[in-house]
Structure 1
């Protein structure tokens, strides 16, 4: 299921890479080099000449951009005033988006709600949810809508030209002729409405965006971000929450809603983005004939007003919710924040993003080191957000003490002054630059790069700069490099940080039971309001609620549904894509080679058999994956190691996981996956560094180990609050199988283990070191070793040279395979977190019920998600989302940011009834199948394709198996869907579920659970 997303920050691709330069680089890249002439020829043949008009669009400029291997053509629609950029290249994945500049002046989330609402039917496509319908019956590779701090985007993408045109038509009609102007029920559904609980009689708020933002406001990071904006901006749009504050969303009136839509959703305020290999003349003609030529140019006041610079620092304190009995010691967030008064141009933006990497993102970063050494928090990091007109640079310390706030500030100031005086370490700067240059090789590698380029274009275009400003990085990077010796970065520090008076110190403190207090306050407020209503007014609310639900329940007429553009079966490729996988033997090491173009990057995954690790040491195996690469080695201290990783690799990572495989013991194969990526020229050094990390890492630095364990604990606690869905899913699947139990070890059991190590660190340190060394000795062995190579075929020989040298350093010891025994007595649990919403999961085992997975289940998945769960959970229930999916062995239902609990479990159960009553004619079945094939053919780049090929090998899946699933999906009939009801009923009656949610909601339904757990532990 596709979902709406609220965007708060979109960074330049290079900046993203700087922010995560130690992460694994992934994806595909369009072949480079031989495009310039062909693109130019196409432009000439199509008559696209600068200064001339085509279908009402005047071509204002055209140029080749080497960094993104595209020709950028900038147009202006003369009659309507719409702006358009087309990035022409050979990418088959075509992207369209229409974007609007949408500043805000309150916290009602009006633009966010409009973003949802315009996709709820339009003049040409008068169904209630064309967005969902197109998602379920098209070959789209991307379909979504995004709200930012001062913009709204409506992007779609597809590799199929007919499908691309269909999607573009639906989106253009949605934004210019939506049903919202004549149907107030859409605002009630997508935004908010009053609702009387039929059982308790209580008056409540409900609505999709309302519940989405209640989920958002359970996150300390979201609350902190809003507090920072509020501290630095007081006079303009950025002082407000564009997504909407749940306390203020109910203040939005229908008149304000429509007034805001009419003000901003006009061509003169739009920026249209096109990307990929498409017929530009026909595309321009379609937009002109059907939409833009019918709309007049208007004057729109959407300019983002500049915040007047402050004369002195601002200090602000905010609260975030934690459990009523949680220990709040060392739970404060500190942030020092600087507003840049209009950073201009790609050079300064890129320069500041690189500066952030130098200051804070590496272990050798001087500001990070100073704060860590000063005992400020457990995790220090930075953020530079250029996707606003006045960018913000922030320095954070989490799990800190409020009493250290001025010490935090003083360390920052003293360190920055010292850097300006003494300069940066040359090795650190060079390492960061190498990481950035590696990023330039991978910035086109994301399979959905067309979307990434749009984000970069909007970062400048939205503020009336050229949309190509942030697409040309190499010239700016070279200019920065030429200025380093002249103190380039030191001058940035002086200008934008030390001399900057427009800054703030924001403290985010934990507050015990804050959610519960807010819930009670809201309950009292609504009860008081209900008491003030006359019987007639209360009856009207009840009637409105009933009418809304009746409207939501009603099916679209076949006449209206048929107006949506569709594909046919002849548009489908009946053959599944084959992943090139060649099994080889190199020096007694099994190699899975995936030859494909990667522009000189080599992606390599090394799979060590971890099934020999004793059960009582599995959690140490997971700790080993966390600490490797983050502790000193015999040859390098942690600072040197950090620099080497940036300089010689595109990322080295370790991950303990397991592949499902019916031929393996207990049906799964535990592995330690080591991913090492590098340019072909630096691969030998990358493998040498990997040997040093694997075989010579030292775990005896008590301070470093304690800091790492504390950081892991902190990250898990953040994950439980922000990613409750993952916790609920993993725990529910752990009720079903040994493989589910093994996977779940990485969640709550591992967190409990880390908390124990943290709380009893001194007494357990020696045992921890001993176990880490023991596990390393067992895992990093040749027996069962498999290595995968994804890269250009011409570079394979270079890879094998490095692999053979590396292989000689791997031990070849023999250890017995372990048989793990798990306890399945615990089930149906609830986890209480500081949240205002729930994450509800229910699952069952196909395998234990005696059924086998087949491709028809993918079609059932599409039908249940789009026609049943979307309506019941999101549209009627108010949850932000929910879905179901099949794995090879299991069925999984889930909801997220859900105001309900028991009702959602009932909804999952009622899926059986829905399938039994399912009806669809041939055209409807064709549409379901088209959408299913679209989901099976998602965008994948080289790294992803290599990983898929590896997974097929370890799971025992053949290309014939993949084709069989596709054939089964293509042959699915209505009867297949109805017949599956009996199977689903058997599986659902296993009655296995888990909920992560608010204390009040969980306790109100306590009879459903065998255990109620508060997962986040108090620190000692």
Structure 2
């Protein structure tokens, strides 16, 4: 297809993604455009700029935040938030990488999609990016009065304080920076909090002028929208620019002729008796991959080495007894010169050299012996299955195509080469059982001297030392200010706060494009579901197009277990798939799963049932396979359910250590979720169960369990056996199948044989004894930021709300909480959550420099809600909630969702009622929610996860408000 403003460079069909791919170059500016034409209703647009930072001041990251804070066409404070509030987007965000910044959006609604594209193009090409925005999103000095302490504020500044509070993130940053010391990859693109305050507004503006230009842009469209209109939209913007030369090349890191080592520390605690605070990672820089075949080979080699618990390198590390969990284990392809790395965390720092030696020795052994045919067959099958299924989960497929193409495209390569795979897959399969992977281990690792061994260990004084260094630095700055300068900072602080609190003009807000209520579907989207029985088990079937794949969920009711058995469930589920059986060890079992299926996995699901308030608690074993392998998959499921080797003490101990290390790694990146779970654990039974299986209580259980595995394994094994005997019962079982109709009869016959192997018996629901919690808790971790939560069960407080609450909270989250907690408070995020079925409500903040101020903001929410809402804002919030309800799902997710709604009591009638309530939201619902959050302010339960200094200071000011517990 020709277009007067664009030169058609390539036009070819890519069968693997069912797309016609057209590559264009904008004649006037040189902007490059990849237009993927397919039948995907989930339409995707993304514009990406090469943005190589020169140092660690966070400039690219801060700019990513800032361009979405108002533009020429949309001169409001937060158009991004207006879109979050009132768009039916299926994706809306922006991402900073070490060498690029990407702005992708997606929507199923064509009008909404065009709205998103227009706002994003105006944002990146014509942003306002005032000094106020720079200070708000990046950093600024804040001084509330002439005698107040000078402090740093800024959203990215505090976000990166959170990142640098995560030991895993510190390790990755240290390793990457050391591996690429002479290129942009040797800088922290997110920003180092110690360096961010060195960034000036002039540098910030110049960075945008330099890199945010069509001549430096790569654009992707994908979906079923009109291909000619895509080019019209782009040309309307690009035509306003002339071509310029942009020097954004990511230069190649010169190679070394000898390995190097780097060491560092992180803010953490030390157990003087049993040192487990160290981390070590061995990392390599690789050459640019030569086409799709090499990237596919890299991925398959990563899987063979460490891609699952039975992979030889991961297995060696786990079984070494040197650490608690594996770090990395693969080749990262998002850098021009890829980075590979693997290591261990939870080690005694004195054992770092032993871990390094173990990694290198294992690679040498594998370079000699290679991988077994079973290992290679499993890897090939898993990769081929995933490539053909093309299931990207909650990510729109078009976004996956965008980032797949972007790898080589960004650096002058062919964007289409990575989107096809048939020829590359055939070539790798032909080589796989020869010398190929043995040679690759030698080439990429053993004969590659560009290697860094990176070590970290905890420093219990580091957090306090860094906090004091910041105080001293600010004190020095303050000491250098005369009275006039101090008053200037105070005035600047007041001015910024006033701007943050100011309301946008209605006429400017009206410029943000939106849908109308008439654009919304009134009826819910239903999923075909037939219910019957197979033996004593409930059977759900969903007739959906699945390209010949059968998706199966086998569920068991967890309410048969005793209270004391619940914390074992995460490890019990892993043990089923990772301990082997009486007939095969776990390596053989893992390879068998890989050879014959698209994967078998386990998980748990919890909810409060809508109709009766009872707990729905289920354990699921899920798998997917093509028709001729479905029986093989059922045989695997039978073996793991009935014959898993629960006596495998050493493997179970390894998994317990991994679980503990995994929880500790989630503390900083997932702190708000941990707080949310802890708050609600005291409110409802289902939430209490979640705390036992995934919260701070679970972490405490793991610490004790690891000791009992060594001292009293027999009692631990007895619990595991008891769980199996109680849980796997045909009378407390559901089977959920999603597949094409022509596969059903054969599948039902095979399922009948499968169910017949499982024991029957009486099904009895246990009575759980819930543990109690302090009224308010302060959970201490070594971090520079906090996660502040407050919540209550509204039903217990006598408050009944409707589904309209979701509209009210969407407005609250995108206005009052966004402004108070994020914009003015400097936290990375602030939100509220409400579950209509349970009645649980919570306020939460993320990477928050504050504590008591944030609680004050929560307690002021009622006043904000009583201020009311305009019709335009109300409509936008309704649209946003409907967009959430109608988010697209692939066939497997649709089948699972339909089944889970039945189990938790959310019938289609209930769903329709809730949708009607959302659409009918009015001012009265805002008043009802105001009364509810007022009750939370008065009677809510507080949980804070954060640094010791912040929690201690809060207790000093609020008379010991928080009961303190050290988590790590």
Q: Return the TM-score normalized by structure 2.
A: 0.97
Q: In the alignment, which residue of structure 2 is the partner of 1:87?
A: 36
Q: How does 1:369-380 map to 2 (within 5 A)?
A: 369-380=315-326
Q: In the alignment, which residue of structure 2 is the partner of 1:273?
A: 220
Aligned match of 1:262 in 191, 198, 209?
Answer: 209
Q: How does 1:533-572 map to 2 (within 5 A)?
A: 533-572=481-520
2:463 and 2:274 map into 1 onto residues whose CA distance is 15
Q: Is 1:385 the counterpart of 2:332 in the alignment?
A: yes
Q: 1:272-320: CA deviations, max 9, x gaps?
A: 110100112122112212x111110000000111111011111100111
Q: Is the 8 A contact 1:659 1:951 kept in 2?
A: no
Q: In the alignment, which residue of structure 1 is the partner of 2:641?
A: 694
Q: Is 1:339 the counterpart of 2:339 in the alignment?
A: no
Partner secondary structure for residue 577 of structure 2: coil
Q: Is 1:507 the counterpart of 2:455 in the alignment?
A: yes
Q: In the alignment, which residue of structure 2 is the partner of 1:464?
A: 412
Q: 1:390-412: CA deviations, max 9, x gaps?
A: 10111212222333333333333
Q: In the alignment, which residue of structure 2 is the partner of 1:832?
A: 780
Q: How does 1:732-771 map to 2 (within 5 A)?
A: 732-746=679-693, 747-771=695-719
1:444 and 1:775 map into 2 onto residues whose CA distance is 33
Shift of 1:953: 0.6
Greater CA deviation, 603-612 or 120-129? 603-612
Q: In the alignment, which residue of structure 1 is the partner of 2:862?
A: 912
Aligned match of 1:790 in 713, 720, 738?
Answer: 738
Shift of 1:387: 0.9
2:793 and 2:308 map into 1 onto residues whose CA distance is 44
Q: 1:561-607: CA deviations, max 9, x gaps?
A: 12221222221111111122211122332111122112222221112
2:508 and 2:610 map into 1 onto residues whose CA distance is 47
Q: Is 1:319 the counterpart of 2:265 in the alignment?
A: yes
1:764 and 1:250 map into 2 onto residues whose CA distance is 54
2:631 and 2:145 map into 1 onto residues whose CA distance is 68
Q: In the alignment, which residue of structure 2 is the partner of 1:887?
A: 835
Q: Is 1:998 the counterpart of 2:947 in the alignment?
A: yes
Q: 1:713-751: CA deviations, max 9, x gaps?
A: 211222224321121000101121222212211122222
Partner secondary structure for residue 629 of structure 1: helix
Structure 1 alignment gaps of length 5 or more: 1-47
Q: How does 1:30-109 map to 2 (within 5 A)?
A: 48=1, 53-109=2-58
Q: In the alignment, which residue of structure 2 is the partner of 1:953?
A: 902
Q: 1:220-251: CA deviations, max 9, x gaps?
A: 11111111112211111000000100000000
| C-alpha spacing 1:421/1:818, structure 2 compared with 1 (3 Å) | closer
Shift of 1:849: 2.3
Aligned match of 2:383 in 422, 436, 443?
Answer: 436
Greater CA deviation, 351-360 or 446-455? 446-455
Q: Is the 8 A contact 1:659 1:954 kept in 2?
A: no
Shift of 1:999: 0.9
Aligned match of 2:197 in 246, 250, 257?
Answer: 250
Q: Is 1:402 the counterpart of 2:349 in the alignment?
A: yes
| C-alpha spacing 1:734/1:418, structure 2 compared with 1 (3 Å) | closer
Shift of 1:77: 0.3
Q: In the alignment, which residue of structure 2 is the partner of 1:297?
A: 243
Q: Is 1:675 the counterpart of 2:627 in the alignment?
A: no
Shift of 1:705: 2.2
Q: In the alignment, which residue of structure 2 is the partner of 1:931?
A: 880
| C-alpha spacing 1:923/1:618, structure 2 compared with 1 (3 Å) | closer
Q: Is 1:226 the counterpart of 2:176 in the alignment?
A: no
| C-alpha spacing 1:307/1:613, structure 2 compared with 1 (3 Å) | same
Greater CA deviation, 968-977 or 370-379? 370-379
Partner secondary structure for residue 628 of structure 1: helix
Partner secondary structure for residue 590 of structure 1: strand
1:469 and 1:767 map into 2 onto residues whose CA distance is 56
Q: In the alignment, which residue of structure 2 is the partner of 1:16?
A: none
1:563 and 1:701 map into 2 onto residues whose CA distance is 64
Q: Is the 8 A contact 1:828 1:1008 kept in 2?
A: no
Q: How does 1:132-171 map to 2 (within 5 A)?
A: 132-171=81-120
| C-alpha spacing 1:419/1:737, structure 2 compared with 1 (3 Å) | closer
Q: Is 1:360 the counterpart of 2:306 in the alignment?
A: yes
Q: Is 1:900 the counterpart of 2:846 in the alignment?
A: no
Partner secondary structure for residue 75 of structure 1: strand
Partner secondary structure for residue 303 of structure 1: coil
Shift of 1:937: 1.5
Partner secondary structure for residue 54 of structure 1: coil
Shift of 1:815: 4.8
Greater CA deviation, 805-814 or 1002-1011? 1002-1011
Q: Is the 8 A contact 2:306 2:312 kept in 1?
A: yes
1:421 and 1:779 map into 2 onto residues whose CA distance is 45
Partner secondary structure for residue 246 of structure 1: coil
Q: 1:473-493: CA deviations, max 9, x gaps?
A: 222111011122441111211
Aligned match of 1:1011 in 944, 963, 967?
Answer: 963
Shift of 1:928: 2.3
Q: Is the 8 A contact 1:721 1:834 kept in 2?
A: no
Shift of 1:331: 2.1
Q: Is the 8 A contact 2:162 2:668 kept in 1?
A: no
| C-alpha spacing 1:223/1:326, structure 2 compared with 1 (3 Å) | farther
2:548 and 2:80 map into 1 onto residues whose CA distance is 39
Q: Is the 8 A contact 2:6 2:27 kept in 1?
A: yes
| C-alpha spacing 1:853/1:791, structure 2 compared with 1 (3 Å) | farther
Partner secondary structure for residue 53 of structure 2: coil
Q: Is 1:646 the counterpart of 2:598 in the alignment?
A: no
Partner secondary structure for residue 466 of structure 1: coil
Shift of 1:426: 1.4
Q: In the alignment, which residue of structure 2 is the partner of 1:624?
A: 572
Q: Is the 8 A contact 2:778 2:945 kept in 1?
A: yes
Q: Is the 8 A contact 1:657 1:743 kept in 2?
A: no
Q: Is 1:847 the counterpart of 2:799 in the alignment?
A: no
Partner secondary structure for residue 951 of structure 1: helix
Q: Number of residues paired by the alignment?
A: 960
Partner secondary structure for residue 279 of structure 2: strand
Q: 1:902-936: CA deviations, max 9, x gaps?
A: 1111111111001111131x333222222221222
Structure 2 alignment gaps of length 5 or more: none
Q: In the alignment, which residue of structure 2 is the partner of 1:714?
A: 661
1:745 and 1:297 map into 2 onto residues whose CA distance is 60
Q: Return the TM-score normalized by structure 1.
A: 0.92
2:513 and 2:844 map into 1 onto residues whose CA distance is 30
Q: Is the 8 A contact 2:376 2:433 kept in 1?
A: no
| C-alpha spacing 1:199/1:860, structure 2 compared with 1 (3 Å) | farther
Partner secondary structure for residue 97 of structure 1: strand
Aligned match of 2:399 in 427, 451, 463?
Answer: 451
| C-alpha spacing 1:327/1:930, structure 2 compared with 1 (3 Å) | farther
Shift of 1:858: 1.5
Greater CA deviation, 396-405 or 318-327? 318-327
1:364 and 1:744 map into 2 onto residues whose CA distance is 29
